[in-house]
Amino acid sequence: MRLAAAGALTTVVCVAVVGGVLAQKASLPSSLLPSSLLRSASSAAAESDQAAAATQGSSTRSAPAAAVNPTEPPVRTVAASAAAAPAAAPAATSTAVPASVPAPAAPVQTCANPNAIGIARTLEVDTTGGPGFGFEHFKTHDFLRPGEVVLTFDDGPWPKHTPAVLAALAAHCTKAIFFPIGKHAMWAPEILKQVAAAGHTIGSHTWSHADLSKKSEQDGKDEIEKGFSAVRWALGAPPAPFFRFPALKHPPELVTYLGERNVAIFSTDMDSFDFKIHKPDQVIQSVLLKLKKYGKGIVLMHDFQRATSEAAMELLNQLKANGYKIVFMKPKAPVQTIAAYDEAILKEEKLPTLVERPTSTVIRDVTE
């Protein structure tokens, strides 16, 4: 009897346990547990990404599977822990990254100045054949819309003045084209590197700012090539194939040469004549009056000039207030400098010594 009673009790307990397990399974989702966890974690990651995107003013729509970044850390981590359910991973990945997460919208958010003039358009220039820009000398390419302005600065880099111009451009979240003199670039490479770091386009304005109309053809070519090689040396990388002749004097044979070198030539639509003006307010007035007359254009200024550096911020304020828009130009590809000139400008940079050794073998820090 005791054995029978014990057997009956065991049966009841087993039935109860099995029933409890069946009831618990009935309360679970129909999918397997690992894939269920994957979807939950991915959903949380998506919600977190969507909240971050919403904070930046971005759309929170999920990206299609084709647009997903498969290396997104949250998805990779969860997928690795859910290897038992590989079929669920693609679905989870496709909803993990919102379509608007890619970075193009970020630059708009980084501008701290709500009244910044910004950049209305960015134009890429194919310099093949040496196209010319600026109606003062070249009439072929009319690419600016009414009210659009391209800012260009010559003769730098120069201590204090160039950094002041850079600060004004940065405050207004906009960009310009700089045409440095080769010698100046080698005198102040750290300043030219600041121009490049800020994302501006850098071309060349000859080696020594010589009037090439008074030079022989070969001397003119030397001025052009040494200028580009000097800028390359200062930057540590080749600049844009953009060139401006000093004094806007264009010897035909050198125009042809630049075309053969696939270098674009920049004249201007309006010259500020800031090199003749010594007061910031007069620089501003000069630019605004000419823009009012022509309606749009490439503006020539000089970051070498103190008055221009002091006028830069207020000029940008006035351009914004008067409804003008900045157009930024950059090259399709950098200039190809010539090795012989790259080597030649090094002789300008230093006096020769008996032995050339790496700095690390000459100087040792023995502070401690």
For 158, left (φ over 0), alpha (ψ -120 to 50), or beta? beta
Same domain, 127 and 96: no
Please compute the mean of the pLDDT values over residues 90-100 and round it to a whole number.
33
Statement to judge: residues 231 and 129 lie in one domain: yes
Are residue 91 and residue 216 in the same domain, yes or no?
no
Residue spans of beta strands (DSSP E) within 109-249: 121-125, 132-133, 148-154, 177-179, 201-202, 242-243
Domain that holds residue 304: 114-349
The tally of CA atoms less than 13 A away on the side-chain side of residue 294 is 21
Nearest-10 Cα torsion for 27, 31, 32, 37: -90
Same domain, 46 and 189: no
Question: Are 78 and 127 in a shared domain?
Answer: no
Instruction: List, for residues 171-222, the tens digit of each pLDDT value.
Output: 999 999 999 999 999 999 999 999 999 999 999 999 999 999 999 999 999 9
320 and 281 within one domain: yes
- Residue 128 falls inside a structural domain: yes
Q: Looking at the 3D structure of the chain, how many domains does it have?
A: 2
Residue 361, pLDDT score: 86
Q: Does residue 368 lie in a domain region?
A: no
Inside any domain, residue 23: no
Whether residue 7 is contained in a domain is answered as no
One domain, residues 157 and 300? yes
CA atoms of 155 and 305, how far apart (whole Å): 9
Q: Establish if 238 belongs to a structural domain.
A: yes
Using the 3D structure, point to which of 77, 100, 123 is the last residue of a domain: 100
Clarify whether residues 142 and 215 are in a common domain. yes
- If asked whether residues 118 and 249 sit together in one domain, one would say yes
Co-location of 82 and 124 in the same domain: no
> By CB neighbour count within 10 A (0-12 exposed, 13-18 middle, 19+ buried), where does 299 fall?
buried
Closest to 97 in 3D by CA, of 139, 43, 135: 43
Residues 286 and 181 both lie in one domain: yes
Taking the whole predicted model, whether its pTM rises above 0.85 is answered as no
> Above 80 in pLDDT, residue 251?
yes
Residue 90 and residue 147 share a domain? no
Q: What are phi and psi of 133, to 5 degrees?
A: -130, 145
pLDDT tens digit sequence for 4-52: 444 444 444 443 434 444 444 444 343 333 333 333 333 343 343 443 3
264-266 and 297-302 beta bridge pairing: unpaired
Mention every residue, 6+ apart, whose C-beta is less than 8 A from residue 51: none
